[in-house]
Amino acid sequence: MFSNKKLLVVKTTLFIASTMLFVACGNGEAPKEDTAAKAVVTEDSTASNDVPETSYSLPSPLQIASIFKKSGMKYKADLTSQMKDPAKYSTNLSKALNLGVFSADLSYCVLNKQSQEAMRYMKLCRSLADNLGMGSVFDESNLSKRFEKNLGNEDSLAYIIAELQMVTDMYLDENDQQQITSIVFAGAWTESMYVGSKVYEKGKEKGLNTKLAEQMNILGSIVNALKAVEKKDAAIGGLIADMKSVKDIYDELPSVKNNPQGEDSDKPMSFTEDEIVKLTKKIDELRTKFINGL
């Protein structure tokens, strides 16, 4: 499938450790190394046929939501997707993108104690997963039932979401559907950045500005992950162009150009107000395109 090329594996990092879950739920301080969700790229030279395996460890929607919450992001009603009929999404690309959107909204609601909204997004995720032929992952270890039973228990819901992500990753790997993982994360990242930027517009929290800048660093890995599975679905080419249109704007921002060390710099980067406006406008356009099923 990927002869003469690096074999791609996309993994999302999970909040399994109890210390990370306490951070997610606001009950503790984050260790310094965990203050930013980063894409970790590694190569495994032991892959079959002597072809190096490139692994992209992308942060889960839950992790990004937690990072934004710790930086001061408050819950704002009506920012999340208001789609109520997932049957509108007719292509696998739009189904997977909006599974990502709903996953990000689910995490945002859980970490802000919006139990009923969280249950609605869990059902929407289940519906789209069913349409993608992977609804069985929600039955693994009774995840759906456990989620409903634990409504109101933020810690338990966070554990269940992390477990769901792990089971989903395993299912897609075993069924050679890694392209779904990449597409879902593209949708989740876009929704997370949309919600984060809109909350920033309302409150101007400095910490949230810094975290938005940090999470933009993941975009390059998302584009590369999508390129590696492009041959599996012709529609992925359009998604790559969409995600790259955001990266092109980001790469040209003065704050980025004047920060050559990028994510490896010890000094946190932040955006100017004009830069936030430029990025927010583009992310808004892209997110609208996704949720409208275009």
Residue 231 lies in a domain: yes
- Structurally, the chain folds into a number of domains equal to 1
CB 230 within 8 Å of CB 186: no
Per residue in 108-139, pLDDT (tens digit) is 998 888 888 999 999 999 999 999 999 889 88
CA dist., res. 243 & res. 25, Å (int)? 30
Per residue in 152-175, pLDDT (tens digit) is 888 888 888 888 888 898 899 899
The more confidently predicted of residues 17 and 251 is 251
Calculate mean pLDDT across residues 67-87: 83
CB 105 within 8 Å of CB 121: yes
Residue 86 has pLDDT above 70, yes or no: yes
Residue 2 lies in a domain: no
Residue 12 lies in a domain: yes
pTM: 0.81
184 lies in which domain range? 7-291
Q: Which residues pair with 53 in a beta bridge?
A: 7, 44
Quick one: pLDDT at residue 260? 59
Residue 22 has pLDDT above 50, yes or no: no
Residue 146 lies in a domain: yes
Residue 1 lies in a domain: no
CB 200 within 8 Å of CB 276: yes
The overall average pLDDT reported for the chain is 79
Residue 148 lies in a domain: yes
